[in-house]
DNA sequence: CAATAACCGAGACGGTACGTCGAGTCTTATA
DNA sequence: TATAAGACTCGACGTACCGTCTCGGTTATTG
């Protein structure tokens, strides 16, 4: 049944029997090229000019699309950027293959690699700023991205049979926070080395079960 | 006597002991009430309306001050916010009083408390966004705030006589990153509890020196 | 028949008799109420507050219109004022009905009446000032207003069969200059009396052809 | 003693040996270099940049002087420009030397020469614009410059013994208006030729007295 | 096969913020 | 005690983006 949840989540988007994802069936259908052109323009502007300069009008200009066509699809810049930067289910999961230390290192590298992506780096502070106005947006993103990661990490720790010196949620927060800040501030430079350092710290916080 | 006059004029500018803090000594002096009113208005707007809505014009309106008076003092919103939020030398330092664990806990609490301040929380994502346009600003802040903290932490670790499982700089980054993200995302709620969890993780990364 | 549609579409743009007044046929059309409100506000402010105080922002306020809406239509205050004050082809022409003296008097009265209009009076010095920066604007107005008047006057003189004591162009300049300065400086007060005095002077400069 | 004050006031303007025209005798004396520097800067800016761009601040900058130093001496830009451009008593007077036609030509040339001076040309429309706000200024200038000219012209006409076809005041207005507009609009180019044309027109308006 | 309805681009709309500049006034140190 | 310098408030400048709207015109699906 644990898989059921994932299935449900999927079905919401493209599952069998999904009748109506709120798009109308009559009238001229939306041009899918508009969607992709906008997404591409958004990513490019984010990387090249930063979040602030990535205005809706600038995106429209670069994408060769009208502003209303964008507003028809996304209700705000935050929503558009979020969707462009975190498409869906880009889940990084830890896998227990043998040595806990190297497993964690692989895991941390995966996370930092994703966060250090130039578009992601550029988008995050901007999104955080927007969340001040619309906290709901933030909750949605957390729900969508962070919650499943959190569960997967907890599962990983449980399967190691180790005893964490802090509660698992906080340990996850430490790891994510460290990687997040590093990715945002320094980017991809030396990210791998830092990821392995973080992995060591997290490792050290997982004490081997007593023999007894 | 006529020469004396000229000498006086010169000595006013570069005489021995002249403080010369780049402020002009002639003309109407700046009204210090303007400075403080602007700073207060900035903090209030940051907390109430967020970084985006904290426009220079809105600050001017709230402070009862003209926009040019603000631009005369600060070259940009980023600079003004930075100065309002990180006044100067608000250094949190770790002290080795006895138990390393509780020392670290105190330290982490101090950091998270500062970062969880509503104005700081509101300012940081906005400043990070601006740094995309003007990276120099970021370096200045890091230099001013983070570098001394980093040194103090390294010193603290050295004095504990413990051996960190990761290099000290990375350990600092892990700690700061964890506290930073928590403060930004969740604020002051349960911050103390989280700080002690972080302290435990950092503690665990400091291995007691071999007896040998 | 399917091709016909496309042809129709094309003919709508460049068919025979297409008016093609350079206005775009796509996009939301301009609200004509904005144009007229701006023009009215401009005239009113010119009369009440003078040219200097007639700022674009003041016009926008009074017209209940945004400043960008004005800049969308007119590139500068000078252009807007010029259009508001000299709408188009308000030509005053002399007519040879019988007595040259009374014809000239009627003509001069017409000119001074137009120039003494409060809005015109208020606008002219302002426009002249702007022309120092942008001489092209001045040439355009001259071309538009003065050149046809000049031609009509020359024609009038020719038809009288009289011999002017000075060349016709200079005579026109004398007449216009006199009326212009009077209208600007004194306004409509006693303008009619002055017009007839000017007519006498111009009359006296037209010598009856020798009998021979 | 009571009369002393009033006497001082009067002597300031027209008393014999008037030492001191209302400037205070105590305190730091005004630097006369400021006056001349400001006047020169004003004329230069008028010619180079036009009336609009000749702001008090620009004059202060160019003259190497502070804005308050200017306001201390002149109450407004109009007053400063007026004084700089029409220093005092630059009276052009007609003289009856023999042939009325050539006398008038000399007279007209003198007037147009003065008005066509680049600084005068640049100043006049600006001053006229300011007069909309402050009509009093205009009257003062008229009183100071035009009234004596008007009287001198009337005297000239009287001495010719000719009978003008229009009243003398209007004739003066025609002449001045014609020369004024020409000087403002065209400047010095061909001014002499135009002056002689005007002289002819005015001549023609002066009919030789009947022999009877 | 016609009617319908949502789409498309273009561009105008009212608002608002931007950062700069000029107008005059006020305050301080200096002469 | 008046001057010179510079900060002061106020408001205009012209531009950009916001999110919405009104167009003319297109393209699918429905009746």
Per-residue pLDDT reduced to its tens digit, A137-180:
777 877 788 888 999 999 999 999 999 999 999 999 999 999 99
The confidence score (pLDDT) of residue C12 equals: 31
Q: Angle at the Cα of C190 (from C186 to C194), degrees rounded to 5?
A: 90
Q: Give the separation between CA D149 and CA C153, rounded to whole angstroms.
A: 31
> Do C174 and D171 make contact, defined as CB atoms within 8 angstroms?
no
Token reading at B55: 């426009």
Mean pLDDT for chain A overall: 83
Residue B189 at interface with chain A, using a CB cutoff of 8 Å:
no
Taken in order D17, D20, D25, D29, is the CA torsion positive or negative? negative
The confidence score (pLDDT) of residue B87 equals: 79
Nucleotide nearest the Cα atom of D34 (by C1'): F4
Do B155 and B83 meet the contact criterion of CB atoms below 8 Å apart? no
Per-residue pLDDT reduced to its tens digit, C153-181:
999 999 999 999 999 999 999 999 999 99
Q: Give the rounded percent of residues in chain A with a pLDDT score beyond 70.
A: 84
Residue D135 at interface with chain C, using a CB cutoff of 8 Å:
no
Higher pLDDT, D178 or C23: D178
Q: Give the separation between CA B129 and CA A126, rounded to whole angstroms.
A: 6
Q: Cβ contacts (< 8 Å) between B163 and chain A: which residues? A: none
Token reading at B164: 């960190």
The confidence score (pLDDT) of residue C58 equals: 93
Token reading at D80: 């400063």
Do D69 and D141 meet the contact criterion of CB atoms below 8 Å apart? no
Looking at domain C18-85, its CATH class is: mainly alpha
Among D124, D129, D167, select the one facing C50 at the smallest CB separation.
D129
Do A176 and A202 meet the contact criterion of CB atoms below 8 Å apart? no
C71 touches strand F (CB under 7 A): yes
> Do C125 and D122 make contact, defined as CB atoms within 8 angstroms?
no
The confidence score (pLDDT) of residue C25 equals: 62
Q: Give the rounded percent of residues in chain C with a pLDDT score beyond 90.
A: 58
How far from the centroid of its chain's Cα atoms is residue C175's Cα?
17
Q: Give the separation between CA A144 and CA A141, rounded to whole angstroms.
A: 5
Q: Give the separation between CA B196 and CA B35, rounded to whole angstroms.
A: 38
The correct CATH number of D29-85 out of 3.40.50.620, 3.40.50.10680, 3.40.50.2000, 1.10.10.60 is 1.10.10.60
Whether the predicted pLDDT of A201 surpasses 90: yes
Phi, psi angle pair for C206, to nearest 5° = -110, 105
The confidence score (pLDDT) of residue D95 equals: 84
Whether the predicted pLDDT of C86 surpasses 90: no
Do C73 and C38 meet the contact criterion of CB atoms below 8 Å apart? yes
The confidence score (pLDDT) of residue D154 equals: 94
Mean pLDDT of all residues in B116-137: 89
Mean pLDDT for chain B overall: 83
Cα-based distances in Å from D192 to C172, D97, D113:
17, 20, 8
Looking at domain A100-207, its CATH class is: mainly alpha
Q: List the single residue in A with minimal CA-CA distance to B135.
A: A185
Among C132, C138, C174, select the one facing D178 at the smallest CB separation.
C174
Residue B34 CA and nucleotide F2 C1' are separated, in Å, by 29
Q: List the single residue in D with minimal CA-CA distance to C173.
A: D178
Mean pLDDT of all residues in B89-118: 88
Q: Cβ contacts (< 8 Å) between B198 and chain A: which residues? A: 166, 170, 174
Phi, psi angle pair for C163, to nearest 5° = -105, 110
The confidence score (pLDDT) of residue D31 equals: 81
The confidence score (pLDDT) of residue A131 equals: 84
Mean pLDDT of all residues in B81-101: 83
- Judged by average pLDDT, the poorest of A91-95, B89-93, C149-153, D52-56 is B89-93
> Do D129 and C194 make contact, defined as CB atoms within 8 angstroms?
no
Higher pLDDT, C160 or B209: C160
Nucleic strand E contacts from chain A, 69-108, CB < 7 Å: 69, 72
Per-residue DSSP letter, B189: T
Among D126, D137, D121, D128, which residue's Cα sits nearest to residue D184?
A: D121
> Do A171 and B52 make contact, defined as CB atoms within 8 angstroms?
no
C33 touches strand E (CB under 7 A): no
Do D141 and D134 meet the contact criterion of CB atoms below 8 Å apart? no
Q: Give the separation between CA A138 and CA B185, rounded to whole angstroms.
A: 9
> Could you tell me which chains touch chain A, where touching means 3 or more CB pairs under 8 A?
B
Among A50, A171, A177, select the one facing B177 at the smallest CB separation.
A177
Whether the predicted pLDDT of C78 surpasses 60: yes
Start-to-end CA span in chain B (Å)? 81
Pairing of strands C163-164, B163-164: unpaired
The confidence score (pLDDT) of residue A205 equals: 95
Cα-based distances in Å from A111 to A50, A108, A127, A180:
22, 5, 19, 8
The confidence score (pLDDT) of residue D145 equals: 81
Beta bridge mates, A206: A164
Hey, how many other C-beta atoms are within 10 angstroms of the C-beta on A55? Answer: 14
Q: Could you tell me the residue ranges of all domains in chain C? A: 18-85, 100-207
Torsion of CA A192, A193, A196, A202, to 10 degrees: -110
Does chain D reach chain C with at least 3 CB pairs under 8 Å?
A: yes
Q: Give the rounded percent of residues in chain A with a pLDDT score beyond 90.
A: 61
Higher pLDDT, A186 or A87: A186
Nucleic strand F contacts from chain B, 18-77, CB < 7 Å: 24, 26-31, 34, 64-69, 72-73
For tokens 């603000």, the residue is B70
Mean pLDDT of all residues in B71-88: 89
- Judged by average pLDDT, the poorest of B152-156, C71-75, D6-10, D41-45 is D6-10
R_g (Cα) of chain B, nearest Å: 23
Mapped onto helix, strand or coil, the DSSP state of residue D206 is strand
Among A166, A171, A182, select the one facing B177 at the smallest CB separation.
A182
Do C170 and C152 meet the contact criterion of CB atoms below 8 Å apart? no
Mean pLDDT of all residues in C81-104: 84
The confidence score (pLDDT) of residue B144 equals: 81
> Do C205 and D205 make contact, defined as CB atoms within 8 angstroms?
yes
In chain E, which nucleotides are within 7 Å of a protein Cβ? 4-31
Hey, how many other C-beta atoms are within 10 angstroms of the C-beta on A46? Answer: 24
Residues 6 or more apart whose CB falls under 8 angstroms from that of D118 comprise D46, D47, D187
Mapped onto helix, strand or coil, the DSSP state of residue C205 is coil
D72 touches strand E (CB under 7 A): no
The confidence score (pLDDT) of residue C17 equals: 33
The confidence score (pLDDT) of residue A92 equals: 77
Probe site for chain D from C146, C166, C184 (most D CB atoms < 10 A): C166
Torsion of CA C100, C103, C108, C114, to 10 degrees: -160
Mean pLDDT by groups of 10 residues along chain D of 212 residues: 31 31 60 88 92 92 91 89 80 82 93 91 90 79 84 93 93 95 90 94 84 44
Phi, psi angle pair for A155, to nearest 5° = -60, -45
> Do A50 and B133 make contact, defined as CB atoms within 8 angstroms?
yes
Residue B139 at interface with chain A, using a CB cutoff of 8 Å:
no
In chain F, which nucleotides are within 7 Å of a protein Cβ? 1-30
Confidence of residue B23 (pLDDT cuts 50, 70, 90): low
Per-residue DSSP letter, C24: -
Pairing of strands B206-207, B163-164: antiparallel
> Could you tell me which chains touch chain C, where touching means 3 or more CB pairs under 8 A?
D
Cα-based distances in Å from B33 to B30, B64, D91:
9, 11, 56
The confidence score (pLDDT) of residue A25 equals: 62
Beta bridge mates, C164: C206
Higher pLDDT, B14 or D150: D150
Do B203 and B184 meet the contact criterion of CB atoms below 8 Å apart? no
Whether the predicted pLDDT of B210 surpasses 60: no
Superfamily of domain B28-85: Homeodomain-like (1.10.10.60)
Torsion of CA D1, D2, D3, D4, to 10 degrees: 50
Residues 6 or more apart whose CB falls under 8 angstroms from that of A175 comprise A108, A111, A153, A198, A202, B178
Whether the predicted pLDDT of B136 surpasses 70: yes
Residue B184 at interface with chain A, using a CB cutoff of 8 Å:
yes
The confidence score (pLDDT) of residue C138 equals: 79
Taking the CA of residue B29 and the nearest CA in chain A, the distance in Å comes to 36
Q: Give the separation between CA B200 and CA C55, rounded to whole angstroms.
A: 66
The confidence score (pLDDT) of residue A200 equals: 95
Token reading at A51: 């979040």
Residue C207 at interface with chain D, using a CB cutoff of 8 Å:
yes
Taking the CA of residue B130 and the nearest CA in chain A, the distance in Å comes to 8
Whether the predicted pLDDT of A23 surpasses 80: no
> Do D182 and C184 make contact, defined as CB atoms within 8 angstroms?
no
Among A139, A130, A26, which residue's Cα sits nearest to residue A75?
A: A130
Does chain A reach chain D with at least 3 CB pairs under 8 Å?
A: no
Element (H, E) at C15: none
A69 touches strand F (CB under 7 A): no
Residue A28 CA and nucleotide F26 C1' are separated, in Å, by 8
R_g (Cα) of chain A, nearest Å: 20
Confidence of residue A194 (pLDDT cuts 50, 70, 90): very high
The confidence score (pLDDT) of residue C192 equals: 92
Token reading at A6: 């994932």
Residue A10 CA and nucleotide F28 C1' are separated, in Å, by 28
Higher pLDDT, C134 or D47: D47
Taking the CA of residue D201 and the nearest CA in chain C, the distance in Å comes to 6
DSSP assignment of chain A: -HHHHHHHHHHHHH-TT---SS--SSSSPP-HHHHHHHHHHHHHHHHHHHHHH--HHHHHHHHT--HHHHHHH-SSHHHHHHHHHS-S---------S-HHHHHHHHHHHHHHHHTSHHHHHHHHHHHHHHHH-HHHHHHHIIIIIHHHHHHHHHHHHHHT-EESS-HHHHHHHHHHHHHHHHHHHTTTTHHHHHHHHHHHHHHTEEPPP--
Higher pLDDT, C203 or D142: C203
Token reading at D124: 């006049």
Q: List the single residue in A with minimal CA-CA distance to B131.
A: A50
Q: Give the separation between CA C177 and CA C180, rounded to whole angstroms.
A: 5
Q: Nearest residue (Cα to C1') for E23?
A: D56
Nucleic strand F contacts from chain D, 23-52, CB < 7 Å: 23-24, 26-31, 34
C24 touches strand F (CB under 7 A): no
Per-residue DSSP letter, C117: S
> Do B165 and A203 make contact, defined as CB atoms within 8 angstroms?
yes
């Amino acid at each position: 049944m644990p898989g059921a949840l994932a299935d449900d989540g999927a079905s919401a988007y493209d599952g069998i029997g999904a009748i109506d994802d709120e798009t109308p069936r009559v009238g001229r259908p939306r041009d899918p090229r508009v969607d992709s052109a906008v997404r591409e323009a958004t990513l490019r502007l984010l990387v090249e000019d930063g979040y602030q300069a990535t205005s809706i009008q600038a995106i429209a200009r670069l994408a060769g699309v009208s502003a209303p066509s964008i507003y028809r699809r996304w209700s705000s810049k935050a929503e558009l950027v979020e969707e462009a930067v975190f498409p869906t289910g880009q889940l990084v999961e830890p896998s227990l293959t043998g040595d806990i230390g190297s497993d964690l290192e692989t895991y941390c590298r995966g996370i930092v690699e994703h966060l250090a992506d130039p578009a992601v780096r550029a988008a995050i502070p901007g999104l955080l700023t927007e969340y001040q106005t619309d906290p709901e947006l933030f909750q949605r993103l957390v729900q969508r991205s962070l919650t499943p990661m959190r569960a997967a990490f907890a599962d990983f720790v449980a399967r190691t049979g180790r005893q964490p010196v802090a509660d698992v949620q906080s340990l996850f927060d430490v790891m994510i926070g460290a990687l997040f800040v590093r990715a945002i501030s320094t980017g991809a430079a030396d990210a791998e080395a830092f990821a392995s350092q973080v992995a060591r710290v997290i490792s050290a916080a997982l004490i081997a079960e007593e023999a007894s």
